[in-house]
Structure 1
Amino acid sequence: MAAHAAPPTRRHHHRRPTTGTTGTAGTTGAAGGWMLPVVLGVIYGLYASTVARHGGPLTWGQAVLGVVSAAVLAVALHTLRRRQRALPREPRAMAWAALAGIAIGFLFSLSNASVLSAVVLALPVAAGVFCVAFYVFYTHEDAAGRPLPRP
């Protein structure tokens, strides 16, 4: 008989924003937004040392190359993520494009390819990243560069 009665609803409590915000979107807490750059840097460093091995055993030089590559990419990503709001749309998209093009070109150059072929690969990657980044920035900001309110 009571099958038509609505089940009790749960009360939703609104969460208060965390107190550890660092000023950039998606980076909160004591880590200050280092999680994503470190993870991507570690993956990049492992891949760089793997490409540099050319199928042989791992040497200390290749391990150091991987660690340094990981650290450089992680610091560059973190810095760009923290400082990107200070740049207008076009230079910000160009910065992301340059970072992506340099990272891909460096990895390709580790495979004993010529510098010219690394540049030929890196330029279209950078151009694609520039187009996507500019589109995202253009559609998610007003004319003054402030983020649009979410619907």
Structure 2
Amino acid sequence: MGPRAAGLVKWAMPVVGGLVYGFWAAAINRDTAAITGWNVLFGFVCAIAFAAAWIGVRMMAPLMKRELHALMWMAFAGIAFGFLYSQTGHTVLRSVIMSLAIAGSVFAVLFYRYYTHEDAEGHRVD
């Protein structure tokens, strides 16, 4: 993949992910069968917030050490999942527990990946 295509993918992923996230949040939040203007607005606000957070984490995380890098993605995944899960009508306690389970899993996987993809001086090799 050339640099131009990589740059396109770098920006397309958060936008497409945000649109999917916003649509999903709006679909969960809808009370009736009819789609309302407030429901569409809610979906777009969620999409923009998700995409902005993804871009922010993607820009800041590589500057951190592997622990903080994994921790930033963990927080992003946990918050994003927790918000969607809270829209389903479950209790706050259940939303927190489910969110922590997802966040912990993301941290474990990413910490392992970042730990195994460093050389002896702590520089990323990929």
Task: Compute the TM-score of the two structures, normalised by the length of structure 2.
Answer: 0.89
Q: CA shift at 1:54, angstroms?
A: 4.3
Looking at structure 2, the residues matched to 97 and 55 of structure 1 have their Cα atoms a distance apart, in angstroms, of 33
| Pick aligned residue for 1:69 from 35, 42, 46 | 46
Give the Cα–Cα distance (whole angstroms) in 2 for the partners of residues 93 and 86 of structure 1: 11
> Paired residue for 1:48, among 17, 22, 25?
25
Contact 2:30 2:39 in 1 (8 A): yes
Check conservation: 2:61, 2:68, Cα contact below 8 A. Answer: no
| Separation in structure 2 between the aligned mates of residue 129 and residue 122 of structure 1, nearest angstrom | 11
Give the 3-state SS of the residue equivalent to 1:58 in structure 2. Answer: coil
- Distance apart, 1:66 and its partner CA: 0.7
Give runs of ≥4 in structure 1 deviating > 4 Å: none
Further displaced range: 81-90 or 117-126: 81-90
Query: What does residue range 21-100 of structure 1 map to in structure 2 within 5 Å?
Result: 27-28=6-7, 33-54=10-31, 56-100=33-77
Is the CA contact 2:81–2:99 (under 8 Å) kept in the aligned structure 1?
A: yes
For structure 1, which segment, 76-85 or 35-44, has the greater mean C-alpha deviation from structure 2 after superposition? 76-85
- Counterparts of 1:48 and 1:72, CA distance in 2: 12
The structure where helix makes up a greater share of residues is: 2
TM-score by length of 1: 0.75
Q: Distance in 1 between matches of 2:6 and 2:54?
A: 13
1:121 aligns with 2:98: yes
Corresponding position: 1:133 with 2:94? no
User: Which residue matches 1:104?
Assistant: 81
Distance change >3 Å, CA 144–CA 55, structure 1 → 2: farther
Higher RCO, Cα 8 Å, sep 6+ = 2
Provide the secondary structure at the position in 1 that maps to 2:51: helix
